[in-house]
Amino acid sequence: MNTKGLDYTLLALVIIGAVNWGLIGLFRFDLVSFLFGDMSWLTRIIYGIVGIGGLYLCSVFGRIRSINEA
């Protein structure tokens, strides 16, 4: 099964989430809340998708490892 497109899409979302956490940690500025509202339904959906994407990308490590061992 080819999941390359899904992998790249979720990787982009997780990178955006990481940048957002960096902004929160360094400047106390939440970019997602700034753009979509403070804990609006859309903000919560974005946070949920980024979280699920991060969990999914944990499986990428297993695939990369198995490819390198082959």
Structure tokens that stand for 1 in this block: 């099964």
How far is residue 32's CA from residue 11's CA, in Å, rounded to a whole number? Answer: 17
Mean of pLDDT values over 39-54:
92
pLDDT value for 2? 72
Domain spans of the chain, in order of start: 4-69
Q: What is the pLDDT of residues 14-38, one digit of tens each?
A: 999 999 999 999 999 999 999 998 9
Region of poorest pLDDT, from 7-16, 36-45, 53-62: 53-62
Angle 19-25-30 (CA atoms, 0-180°, nearest 5)?
60
User: Does pLDDT of 68 surpass 70?
Assistant: no
Output 63 or 35, whichever has higher pLDDT.
35
